[in-house]
Amino acid sequence: MKFNQWTIGLAAVGVISLASAARAEESAVPLMTALSSTTISGYVDVSAHWNLGSKSYHGLPYYKFNGPNKSDGFNLNVVQLSIAKPLDESEWAAGYKVDLWMGPDAKILRTTSDWWDWDGDGGYYSGSDFAIRQAYVALRAPVGNGIDFKIGAFDTIIGYESLESGNNPNYTRSYGHSIEPQTHTGVLATYRFSDYVSAAVGVANTFGPWINERAFPAKSESYKTYMGSIALSAPEDWGFLAGSTLYGGVVNGFSSDAWENVTSWYAGATLATPVEGLKFGAAFDYMDPHHGDYDAWAVALYASYQATDKLSFHVRGEHLRWEEDWDDDEKVWALTGTVQYDLWQNVISRVEVRWDHDRDRGFGKYGSKKDAVLLAGNVIYKF
């Protein structure tokens, strides 16, 4: 066995023996082999919010990851640490992924499997700034083109926007994203029929997001949540439309938030254009609580323009409709504009202006304002 010079030097002065060094080298080989394909990555997400004209933190727009603790000040949003071994090209490939969240947004993620408390402003939160976003084993079975499995806790299969703000065209989240499920504990199978068609089906404990949550006692012990999706991509010979996508999916199961079954439908598309750097997107979400006296739907339109390698512009217009049997329907309109300029390497830096209009219930204390305007800055370092 060959030893490096540092090991030989330590043996020469009697600090270690070559026999012990040999045993250490041999025991380290399996560990290094197992970790050789493991990657560590993540990001730090910070922001600053200025709620124009606001004299109270009450009654802010209720899209996800917004709240009184972020109004009119500087914020640490979240730190994500990802440890993963992606699937390779082998027939019986195996890997894993773990996404850990630390910071205030971890409370809003609500994947905790521990305990809950009342936040005093109409919602629940976990008792810790630490959360597991995803943690699953990835497997491939050589059936046809290969079936890829995720077993554990994983992100939902529907939605235009990601839980990771840096992967979205805008900093703040849409209303459609806010009424979607976000994580599940179960098994998900994905199959790619061709380069242009893929589908996914899955079974989970519940609608989410609690890790290891069960539908019991509201349902029988065997009750589960089911989901499916299909994705279509335009082939290369479609000219400027190449790469455009059409996606649809559904999730149905028991939600402890609604204390009943909920079905969430989603349809979305991205459209390439003849103008270099310009693309459009659209998303539709419908949340249907079974036997409930309310439902909600949201539609959003997106436009993005990559002006230079560093500079890009993003616009989102959206409408939320919340329909209740016992009260007037709520209609919210929102328009968001984002300018992103990546001056530093590995850093996303952007400025965003968002306008929300609620003509029915309003914002502010006691719903006294019909409009809410947010000026936000967002910086994300990816490592």
CATH superfamily of domain region 40-382: Porin (2.40.160.10)
pLDDT at 117: 47
Render pLDDT for 76-121 as a digit per residue (tens, 0 to 9): 999 999 999 999 999 999 999 999 999 999 999 989 765 444 444 4
**Report for 67-76, 94-103, 365-374: range of highest mean pLDDT:** 94-103
Written as six digits, the tokens of 258 are 């609604």
pLDDT above 90 (res 21): no
> Where do the CATH 2.40.160.10 domains begin and end in the chain?
40-382
E strand segments, the chain: 39-52, 73-85, 94-102, 116-118, 124-126, 130-141, 147-155, 183-192, 197-204, 225-233, 245-255, 260-272, 278-289, 294-306, 311-324, 330-341, 347-358, 371-382
**Whether the predicted pLDDT of 19 surpasses 90:** no
> 100: number of CA atoms within 13 Å, CB side?
10
**pLDDT over threshold 80, residue 324:** no
What's the mean pLDDT when you consider all of the chain?
88
Answer whether residue 60 shows pLDDT above 80: yes
Give the pair of three-digit tokens for residue 161: 């926007």
Residue 154 structure tokens = 């994983």
What the block records as the tokens of 243 is 């790469």
This prediction's pTM: 0.86
Q: Give residue 367's pLDDT.
A: 61
pLDDT tier at 34, thresholds 50, 70, 90: low
pLDDT at 158: 98
Mean pLDDT for 274-284 is 97
Q: Specify the pLDDT at position 275.
A: 96
Cis bond upstream, residue 209 (ω within 30): yes
What is the chain's Cα-based Rg? 24
Q: Find the mean pLDDT for residues 161-168.
A: 97
Pick 295 or 170 by higher pLDDT: 170
Q: In this predicted model, which residue has the larger pLDDT, 2 or 108?
A: 108
Q: Is the pLDDT of residue 347 over 80?
A: yes
With 70 as the cut, is the pLDDT of residue 22 above it? Answer: no
Q: Using a pLDDT cut of 70, give the percent of the chain over it.
A: 83
Asked if the model's pLDDT at residue 125 lies above 50, the reply is no
> For residue 7, what pLDDT is reported?
45
Give the pLDDT of residue 323. Answer: 81
Maximum distance among all Cα pairs of the chain, rounded to whole angstroms? 85
| Residues 6+ positions from 344 with CB-CB distance below 8 Å | none
Which amino acid is located at 239 in the chain? G
Q: Are 130 and 102 in contact (CB under 8 A)?
A: yes
pLDDT digits (tens, 9 = 90+) for 128-153: 799 999 999 999 999 999 999 999 99
Q: How confident is the model at residue 164 (pLDDT cuts 50, 70, 90)?
A: very high
